[in-house]
Amino acid sequence: MKRALTFFLLLLPCTFLFSQDLSSVFQLTVPPRKPVKSLYRVIAFFDSRQDTTIGTWLSGPDKPVRLVLKTPVQPQLVNILNAYTDGGSGNGAILFQLKRFSFAEPARTRYCYLSAAIYALKDEGYAKLASLDTTLVITYAAELPSVLAQEANQVIDDFIAKAILLPATTAAVYNYNDLVHIDSVEKRKIPVYNTSTYTEGLYGTYNAFMNQRPDVRGEVKEKSDGKLSIRILDPKWEDPKGLTHIFAVVYKGVPYVVTHYGDYPLQKQNDDFYFTGKLRVTPATDGKAGVDVSSGLMGILPSADKADYRVLLDHTSGEFIHLQVLDTY
């Protein structure tokens, strides 16, 4: 355990180097002190993001500013962990892996996607304690960094506070190489990522779709304009107000994701699923799975957004990750 932790600590000085002339930084902040019976006292940090820039925001007309994570990150995490520990806490060690932290557009509504995982050091490896996959929806504000800092820090603080109460009970233990390629390692265990032949039918949730087990009765027909006509014949999906919908459908071998505004074909590229379409950001109130945004949605909510987006499907949760806005309504 000590060797594994030391290895990550040695990585830190060379992993988190940014230019010092960046105009805006995101800093992790310490929550109000409220000690819990943490099982862990030591925390390390591993940044596996492909793009270490959170994004570009407009501080004024034609004034783009890059927003990056303040470095070094580990001392910031140590301060958060210290705020949650006291003399009765355990002596375990954890690793915080940041997988994605980015937003899709520099103006109007910002969708900031945050994905992370926390592992406990166990048997010279890493046992996953918890995962975080959430979308922060923040309407345009002159001081975007401060609004984002408030929302994102609350999410991260709560995530750490819950994870440090969890023992490492899972039998799966990852090594360093696994963590470097963790998305691929996880996808190899998900049926829909390991087939080119998809099971025909209707899927009410991402869990059903990822396991390729249709769980909703219904009919699918192709209309004259090439779009699909989906008829649900399952009482549990009756919703006269139209606030809910199924997650996906496979018709004639092609998988489609379903949103409030229609169904869009999923394209698999480089071991990921993408689609282009319109999304609704106002959350449904009944808690059913398959709505356009996950239960992790928070922030300052606009009423709706009908822009076309290039969207990535999160392989662990089915969350829609706004990658790029293509046009506005």
Q: pLDDT at position 259, please?
A: 85
Q: Is cis: bond before 145, omega within 30 of 0? A: no
Residues 6+ apart with CB under 8 A from 148: 26, 67, 103, 110, 112, 136, 138
Overall pTM surpassing 0.75 (yes/no): yes
Structure tokens belonging to residue 145: 């960094």
Longest dimension (CA), the chain: 69
Q: pLDDT at position 243, please?
A: 58
Residues 6+ apart with CB under 8 A from 168: 92, 120, 122, 127, 129
DSSP H or E run through 259: strand 254-259
Cα within 13 Å of Cα(46), Cβ side: 24
Given the DSSP bridges, would you call strands 64-69 and 24-26 parallel, antiparallel or unpaired? parallel
Q: pLDDT at position 263, please?
A: 92
Q: pLDDT at position 298, please?
A: 37
Low-confidence ranges of the chain (pLDDT < 70): 1-23, 60-61, 108-109, 140-142, 238-243, 280-306, 327-329
Q: pLDDT at position 180, please?
A: 94
CA angle 25, 26, 27 (to 5 degrees): 115
Query: Among positive and negative, which fits the CA dihedral 157, 162, 167, 171?
Result: negative
Q: What does the chain come to in residues?
A: 329
Q: pLDDT at position 64, please?
A: 79
Q: pLDDT at position 15, please?
A: 37
- Domains, the chain, ordered by start: 2-186 (3.40.50), 191-327 (no CATH)
